[in-house]
Amino acid sequence: MTGRPRDMTTGISGADTAERQGGQPAPVSGHSPWRSPRTPIAAEEDRITYVPLTRSLAADVARLHSTCLTDFFLAGMGPGLLVRYYAHYYGRPDGVCLVARDATGRVVGIAAGARDYAAFLQDYYRANFIGLALGVMRSFWRGPGGVRESGLGLTRMWAGIRALLHVRRVQTAPETSPEESSPHTVELAALVVHPDFQGKGVARELFRLFEERAVAMGVWHLRSTVLAANARTIAFNRKVGLRPIKRLSRDIVFEKTLPMHEVAPMGLAVGDADDGERASVRAPHVTNGQPTACPGAPAQSPTDWLARPRVPAAGRPPYVLALTHDVDLLSVRELPWRSRTLRGHVFRCVLGNVARLLRRRISLRQYLHSLLSGVSVPLIKARILADPIEESFRKMLEIERRHGVRSTIFFIPEARNPGKIPRGAKAPTRRAADYCIEPLRKRLRSLEEEGWEIGVHGIDSYRDLEAARREFGMMSEMLGHRNIGHRSHWFYSKGIDSWDILRQAGYAYDASLGSNFIIGWPEGRKEPFRPFAGDAFTVLPLPVHDAPILDQAKMNLDPSEAWRRISALLRETKETSGVITVLWHTHSFSAPRYWGDLYEKIFLQARADGATIVPAKQAIALWRNSVEAKK
């Protein structure tokens, strides 16, 4: 496992861990509320406090680690890179880093790891690319003792090159194997204890707390990779319940299945599930759409308070916010060289964002990132650099995981089929998708298990019953159920005729009633409605759409003006206790758009208002329950 730290429960000698004052907990008397009653306290100086990592502790943690885990290639590339590695854990919802401190504040233990550790490392590599490149060159000439050691230098240099060239497949890729990271697995990357505190339960307590945080994150497995020659760590892993699942050339992979928590889907009580929808899904501790912290675990992120339920003020009725995404693009790599979409992506990255930079709608850093994404398309297609569209999809998922919300994601079921326009002529070729959903089978099911809803971004479902049944059948067979919603690509629609076709094909609802050019309630419709009496098929209006608001070829609003209009719609929905739907494309969170901040601002405002934030299908169920309650 070159370029990745191994789990090691071992000590160090002569560690110089200076106490840091800024941002630290108050001095501890007695034991920490995190401390297990099983852990003995031998003496005053052995009293241990367990806290999440803070930025001010990163240097002390790195110092403890670098003296111990010398095979971790960052340890030989200068202290700065290792400090930044640990600082990278701070504030990340997918990372866990716990620190043990003695009564004097000295760092005496570390437990660190992350969910989907490959993605975590890739983010760190991209953020520190230049420093890593310099470290690779420096490691060839200098060993850890300050003298040239060619053998060790070559080993570290090769590890660094592997790290720099490592390009992780986007999380929409479905294939996972026991030896690969995944969103369902948290990897314990390092477990280190000072030798003076070994044998006193510190390592076991760090592991227990790490496991608690992993359960709270909703993952299924805890994994650790250990050197086959490290008998002490192998024995420790067996004691804490880890079992070997794979032997590599030099390493052994251990894994432990974590407890499951059966909870209602986000925003829906168990009794509200309809149409045969499963009433419980695997998720972290979630109640009414809001995740709760692991018992006894203080917040690790400054934004963790956002996960707490909001109680609406008197006289302000709550409302329902339905979050949705359309997957028009899935990867730059899949776009043909002659594709107009690819040329447009390059133009917006290189030249189109110049005007946005001058108007201060994006930062200089964002523009430089956009410029790199535009001029490096050959390297992106060669899988040397990260794909910006894949990165955008992953950022969208990370934002929603961090804030404990879920959304509906509409995928186009057929590749390279532009379909037809409402008049019957062939649609422009750029309407066709350049990705296929068949390879995404496992990934789509995985997203649904985590609480997201998957829908059909239809090509010809809106106009042809045979096509509607074909597209519906492809998605239902892939997901294993028939409770599926629809949104037409490019909002093509024939009104009531389209809804009748979709109803006959088996769709539960249609979310295509919206505009590609303006913001506001389409056709004056301010809530979902059933176009056919006695039939459960529902139409979900779409008043907020990212492209018409912010695209330079459309309304091209300043972010402040866009927010003013969106917040007005939120207030209007709040006054009527209604339902409001938001569409944000999955490729809008990275280059060249960078529209993720406004999307995040929308649901943060809704949460402050006391709104229920759910995917489209659950929003319709809640609306249906409220209508029936009024009767």
3-state secondary structure of 126: helix
Q: Are 251 and 225 in contact (CB under 8 A)?
A: yes
Beta strands 251-257; 262-263: pairing state: unpaired
Mean of pLDDT values over 581-591: 96
Strand residues in 40-94 grouped as ranges (E): 49-52
Which range, 225-229, 283-287, 430-434, is most confident? 430-434
Half-sphere exposure of 92 (CA within 13 A, CB side): 24
Strand partners, 187: 114, 223
- pLDDT confidence bin for 77, thresholds 50/70/90: low
Mean of pLDDT values over 71-93: 70
Strand partners, 97: 112
What residues contact residue 426 under an 8 Å CB cut-off, 6+ apart?
Answer: 418, 419, 420
Higher pLDDT: 125 or 379? It is 379
Which range, 64-68, 243-247, 421-425, 483-487, is most confident? 483-487
DSSP code string of 287-317:
ETTEE-PPTTPPPSSTTGGGGS--PPPTT--
Share of the chain above pLDDT 70, in %: 72
Which residue carries 């076991």 as its tokens? Answer: 204
Predicted confidence at residue 120, as pLDDT, reads 79
Predicted confidence at residue 260, as pLDDT, reads 52
> Distance between CA atoms of 389 and 443, rounded to whole angstroms?
17
Mean of pLDDT values over 525-539: 93
> Distance between CA atoms of 52 and 49, rounded to whole angstroms?
10
| The CA-based dihedral angle spanning residues 237, 214, 122, 350, taken in that order and rounded to the nearest 10 degrees | 180
- pLDDT confidence bin for 135, thresholds 50/70/90: low
Condensed to tens digits (0 to 9), the pLDDT of residues 23-49 reads 333 333 333 333 333 344 344 445 888
Share the mean pLDDT of the chain: 77
Mean of pLDDT values over 262-283: 33
Lowest mean pLDDT among 143-147, 228-232, 364-368, 570-574: 143-147
* Backbone CA torsion sign across 423, 426, 428, 434: positive
Mean of pLDDT values over 565-592: 94
3-state secondary structure of 411: strand
What residues contact residue 261 under an 8 Å CB cut-off, 6+ apart?
Answer: 215, 218, 282, 283, 284, 285
Condensed to tens digits (0 to 9), the pLDDT of residues 367-378 reads 999 999 999 999
Predicted confidence at residue 70, as pLDDT, reads 54
> Distance between CA atoms of 390 and 37, rounded to whole angstroms?
45
Predicted confidence at residue 594, as pLDDT, reads 94
Which residue carries 């209604």 as its tokens? Answer: 578
Q: Are 310 and 321 in contact (CB under 8 A)?
A: no
Predicted confidence at residue 75, as pLDDT, reads 55
> Distance between CA atoms of 455 and 472, rounded to whole angstroms?
9
Residue 104 to residues 14, 43, 48, 110, 583, Cα–Cα distance (Å): 16, 13, 9, 16, 52
Closest by CA to 303, choosing from 405, 183, 448, is 405
Higher pLDDT: 135 or 186? It is 186
3-state secondary structure of 190: strand
Condensed to tens digits (0 to 9), the pLDDT of residues 202-250 reads 999 999 999 988 888 777 789 998 888 888 888 898 999 998 988 887 8
Residue 339 to residues 334, 378, 398, 431, 489, Cα–Cα distance (Å): 10, 14, 29, 11, 18
Instruction: Sketch out the chain's domains with CATH numbers.
Output: 46-169+182-257 (3.40.630.30), 320-331+387-630 (3.20.20.370)
Predicted confidence at residue 625, as pLDDT, reads 86
Beta strands 579-583; 320-327: pairing state: parallel
pLDDT value at 257 more than 70: yes
The one-letter code for the residue type at 347 is F
Mean of pLDDT values over 577-599: 95
Predicted confidence at residue 611, as pLDDT, reads 93
Q: Are 615 and 356 in contact (CB under 8 A)?
A: no
Which residue carries 């990275």 as its tokens? Answer: 590
Is the bond leading into 27 cis (omega within 30 degrees of zero)?
no
Predicted confidence at residue 169, as pLDDT, reads 36
Predicted confidence at residue 20, as pLDDT, reads 29
Predicted confidence at residue 619, as pLDDT, reads 95
- pLDDT confidence bin for 272, thresholds 50/70/90: very low
**pTM recorded for the entire structure:** 0.56
Predicted confidence at residue 251, as pLDDT, reads 83
Predicted confidence at residue 221, as pLDDT, reads 83
